[in-house]
Amino acid sequence: MQFKDIVGQKEVKQKLIKSVKESRIAHAQLLAGKEGTGKLALAIAYAQYISCQNRSEDDSCGECPSCHKFQKLIHPDLHFVFPVNETKKEGDDETSRRGSDAHMQQWRETILENPYVTESQWYAAIGIENKQGIINTGESSEVIKKISLKSFESEYKTMIIWLPERLNISAANRLLKLIEEPPGKTVFIMVSEQPNRIISTILSRTQIIKVPPISREEIAVALVDRYSIDPNKAHDDSRVANGNFNKAMALALLEETSPYFELFVELMRASFSNNILALLEWTSKVSRLGREKQKELISYSLAIIRESFMLNLGLEDIVYITGDEKKFSQNFSPFINSNNILQVYNTFNLATEHISRNGNSQIIFTDMTMKLVKLINKL
């Protein structure tokens, strides 16, 4: 992965490159930003630049033996940790390959195909859509073991932790001392979308680099260059993507709306008509989805509600939807207003919180839908 392969993020790239040139590579760094901004790609490109044997002023060479290995994600001094969901099975011994190591080939294939991969896309790739991903204590033991070894080829060892907010408390505490005082020439790069969920003792020991949303212009240019998208469509897609290149790619390559659109429409229509039977059927259907998909549905619903409220206020210039989504929102917008917007938001957010805590989804969504019946009809 080279910096030139990453859409936008010029200032972040310059900051990372400058740290290498000035030999001021912080031993623990946190790339924090929203989904689809290229944080993981930046972490890999940075690690490749650090280890490159013939780096230029603004990128790794892409040709040396080190770069060739980094581009396949097989360099022996590049290590990854990422959330999975596995518990030790009866008969497993301590040397069994579990956690991140057990999924490393899938990880490489997934990242090489799409370095902007989302958490839910990763869980789908390893077949745990119905579970909550986690980085457990056993994983932290593997990190300690790997970091204690000498580097094989490069001057630096790099440990990339994707979504450190998924570290459980025990794992995070075990890594605390190592992150604070790692062996020489060791770099921890954490990639987070919810830094507020990382325990404060780890967060305070990292150099935080904020990765902003990608500009519309940069996304549009990338869509045209990479996928030969019509410039007008690329402009529309970049606007709707709102800084998320993963979303922009999905919009560019698929003509259809979000897979959650119909579920959202069903929910709103049933709530408006006070159709309890339809709401119970909807709840039953959604309860069978995996937890990450349930959270995605709520996130999508909040996004459409936000756009509907903007339309209600007459602020169409800052509305980021098109097609069927926009048509529905224009008709729906009178029912999302200053009298209910905060309560609607709080209702959805409370459901997300309870799902994250592994609550019973049938109860959570039943409670949510009953509240929405009252709120959607509150003019």
Distance CA 232, CA 319 (A): 17
pLDDT at residue 88 greater than cutoff 70: no
Q: How far is CA 225 from CA 8, 121, 232, 243, 357, in A?
A: 13, 24, 13, 17, 42
In whole numbers, what is the pLDDT of the chain averaged over residues?
Answer: 88
HEC letters along the chain: CCHHHCCCCHHHHHHHHHHHHCCCCCCEEEEEECCCCCHHHHHHHHHHHHHCCCCCCCCCCCCCHHHHHHHCCCCCCEEEECCECCCCCCCCCCCCCCHHHHCHHHHHHHHHHCCCCCHHHHHHHCCCCCCCCEECHHHHHHHHHHHHCCCCCCCCEEEEEECHHHECHHHHHHHHHHHHCCCCCEEEEEEECCHHHCCHHHHCCCEEEEECCCCHHHHHHHHHHHHCCCHHHHHHHHHHHCCCHHHHHHHHHCCCCCCCHHHHHHHHHHHHCCCHHHHHHHHHHHHCCCHHHHHHHHHHHHHHHHHHHHHHCCCHHHCCCCHHHHHHHHHHHHHCCCCCHHHHHHHHHHHHHHHHCCCCHHHHHHHHHHHHHHHHCCC
Q: What are the pLDDT digits (tens) for 58-77?
A: 999 999 999 999 999 999 99
pLDDT digits (tens, 9 = 90+) for 251-298: 777 655 677 899 999 999 999 999 999 999 999 999 998 888 898 899
If pLDDT is split at 50, 70 and 90, which confidence band does 98 have?
A: low
User: Looking at residues 170-174, what average pLDDT do you find?
Assistant: 90
Query: CB atoms < 10 A from the CB of 67, how many?
Result: 23
Q: Are 89 and 138 in contact (CB under 8 A)?
A: no
- pTM comes to 0.74
Q: What's the pLDDT tens digit per position in 344-368? A: 999 999 999 999 888 899 999 999 9
- Asked if residue 29 has pLDDT above 90, the reply is yes
Return the closest-CA partner of residue 235 out of 252, 250, 247, 212: 252
* pLDDT classification of 241: cutoffs 50, 70, 90: confident
Categorize the per-residue pLDDT at 240 as very low, low, confident or very high, splitting at 50, 70 and 90: confident
Q: How far apart are CA 104 and CA 171, in angstroms?
A: 20
Residue 119 has which token pair? 């958490």
CB 122 within 8 A of CB 110: yes
pLDDT of 318 over the 80 cut: no
- 3-211: CATH architecture: 3-Layer(aba) Sandwich (3.40)
